[in-house]
Amino acid sequence: MYDAIIVGGGPAGSIAAERSARGGLSVLMLEKATYPRHKTCGGGVSQKALDVIGGIDKELIEREAFGARIFLPDYRNFAGMLDDRVAVMTRRENLDHWLARRAEDAGAVVQDGEAVKDVVFNKDCVEVVTSENRYRSRMVIGSDGVNSTVARRSGIRTHWGDDVGLCLEAEVKLGETAVEECVGDRLTEFYFIRDWGYGWVFPKRDHISIGIGKLIARAHNLKGSFSRFVRDVSVQKNIDIEGRISGINNYRIPAGGYPRRLHGDRVLLTGDAAGFVDPFLGEGIYYAVKSGEIAADVAAGAVESGDFSERFLQEYVSRCEKEFNYDLKSALKFANFAYGHRDLFLKALWRDKRLFMEYLRTVRGDMTYTDFNRWCACRSPVTLAKLIISR
Ligand SMILES: Cc1cc2nc3c(=O)[nH]c(=O)nc-3n(C[C@H](O)[C@H](O)[C@H](O)COP(=O)(O)OP(=O)(O)OC[C@H]3O[C@@H](n4cnc5c(N)ncnc54)[C@H](O)[C@@H]3O)c2cc1C
């Protein structure tokens, strides 16, 4: 019998597995795909996520981003940059494979190519059922992403409501020089061009990730929006992106900051399975690795005390709340304001350079959304004056 079985080998699962194994637990991580596996994602890893991971191999870093260029609905644009790195651009198939190998090196048993079909909760153990095997464990950590089997089988969540978004994304090979011409040095691009949500172009070594995302409730004809977006960006940049797309990926993404159940007897949910994603930016890797780390610590405490009850595991909820989930609620307030008053927000970002810089610092991890919201409230007279002067 294992101390913990971790279902899903994305960033949340691998960090939970690595940390649990380092803490002396016997751990099995089950991943349904075979590494290296594709995950639909922009692959941007913020500095605060890197700090939790503890740095990554140089080869995994395709580009570095020190700032962003923001596009308004009419394609006028402006850029802001910090002296410090805000994020690195990676390919998820490489990053996730590397993280899983690190978990294995730490002593976790990593079994890829084995999908979990069912999880059965007994009084004294959990049985995790795959098509090949039936494993037993003291507890289970659900790191199996937005379509989590563990969340469903544990009864924690049977379906998402309106609090989940849908993204379309393509990885387009342009060649190194064209990527530099397309996005510019050390920048990422965000397009607030239509309806709700935003589009992005993230540069990788020789290709770009281009995509759009919207809340599902507003995601009518997303494919049409994506085609128009890619066509417009191709025209704006005079680069044929549209003609070089070989496949379009779509994937759901939960929005964080909503009250949700995160645990039960013998079970914890982490990362996307728990709904831990920045509701403004769609950043999820930081929250995945952070919650994976906390889950591993709480699992170690449960193994030590022999107590796997919902009551004992409440510690996980409290620590997530303290370390980032309260802040996701502040992020949700910010997202509701920014998307609800999009024109005003974009103008403020454009005209008040300091506002833009402070936001970049928030993404980098130098300040929290809670602090950023407070800072914005104090700054609002200055921002307003700048808006009036620039009219
Ligand atoms: C289009 C798009 C772009 C994004 N861009 C960014 C970005 O640039 N930066 C950022 O920080 N975040 C981004 N995100 C969010 C980010 O991808 C997720 O938040 C992050 O991957 C969550 O990590 P995770 O480990 O919780 O889940 P996942 O990465 O989804 O990993 C879950 C793993 O579980 C496995 N699994 C699922 N079911 C089972 C099963 N039954 N049995 C076994 N294994 C199973 C899956 O194969 C997968 O490997 C983006 C999301 C989308 C959709």
Residue 132's CB is within 10 A of a number of other CB atoms, namely 11
Q: How far is the CA of 379 from the centre of ligand 1 (A)?
A: 36
Q: Is the pLDDT of residue 214 over 90?
A: no
Q: Is the pLDDT of residue 252 over 90?
A: yes
Residue 124's CB is within 10 A of a number of other CB atoms, namely 9
Model confidence band, residue 110 (pLDDT cutoffs 50, 70, 90): very high
Q: Ligand 1 site: residues with CB under 6 angstroms? A: 7-13, 30-33, 39-44, 115-116, 143-145, 149, 167, 169, 211, 251, 253, 271-273, 277, 282-285, 288
Whole-angstrom distance, CA of residue 63 vs CA of residue 107? 31
Strand order in the sheet with 87-89: 44-46, 87-89, 63-65
Q: Could you identify the atom of ligand 1 that is nearest to the CA of residue 168?
A: 1
How large is the average pLDDT for residues 203-217?
Answer: 92
Find out whether 127 and 215 touch, Cβ atoms under 8 Å. no
Nearest to 316 by CA among 292, 284, 285, 347: 292
Whole-angstrom distance, CA of residue 325 vs CA of residue 334? 14
Q: Could you identify the atom of ligand 1 that is nearest to the CA of residue 44?
A: 8
| Chain center to CA of 291 | 12
Pocket test residue of 18, 111, 114, 144 for ligand 1, highest count of atoms within 8 A of CB: 144
Model confidence band, residue 218 (pLDDT cutoffs 50, 70, 90): confident
Q: Looking at the domain 64-83+164-254, which fold is it? A: D-Amino Acid Oxidase; Chain A, domain 2 (3.30.9)
Nearest to 272 by CA among 247, 299, 253, 257: 253
Nearest-5° angle of CA 157, CA 335, CA 224? 80
Residue nearest (by alpha carbon) to ligand 1 atom 18: 284
231 — phi, psi (to 5°)?
Answer: -60, -45
Q: Which helix (H) or strand (E) holds 187?
A: strand 187-191
Domain ranges in the chain with CATH number 3.30.9.10: 64-83+164-254
Q: How far is the CA of 150 from the centre of ligand 1 (A)?
A: 15
Find out whether 10 and 148 touch, Cβ atoms under 8 Å. no
Q: Is the pLDDT of residue 51 over 90?
A: yes
Residue nearest (by alpha carbon) to ligand 1 atom 15: 284
Please tell me the CATH code under which domain 2-43+91-159+258-331 is placed. Answer: 3.50.50.60
Domain ranges in the chain with CATH number 3.50.50.60: 2-43+91-159+258-331
Find out whether 256 and 282 touch, Cβ atoms under 8 Å. no
What is the average pLDDT value for the chain, to the nearest integer? 95
Q: How far is the CA of 370 from the centre of ligand 1 (A)?
A: 25
Question: Judging by DSSP bridges, how do beta strands 164-173 and 249-254 pair with one another?
Answer: antiparallel
Q: How far is the CA of 190 from the centre of ligand 1 (A)?
A: 21
pLDDT digits (tens, 9 = 90+) for 71-92: 998 899 999 999 999 999 999 9
Model confidence band, residue 195 (pLDDT cutoffs 50, 70, 90): low
Q: How far is the CA of 10 from the centre of ligand 1 (A)?
A: 6
CA distances from 273 to 111, 160, 342, 367 (A): 19, 10, 29, 26
pTM for the full model? Answer: 0.97
Model confidence band, residue 204 (pLDDT cutoffs 50, 70, 90): very high
Whole-angstrom distance, CA of residue 82 vs CA of residue 51? 18
Q: Which amino acid is at 373?
A: N
Whole-angstrom distance, CA of residue 82 vs CA of residue 373? 19
Whole-angstrom distance, CA of residue 360 vs CA of residue 375? 13
Sign of torsion over alpha carbons 192, 193, 196, 200: negative
Q: Which helix (H) or strand (E) holds 340?
A: helix 326-340
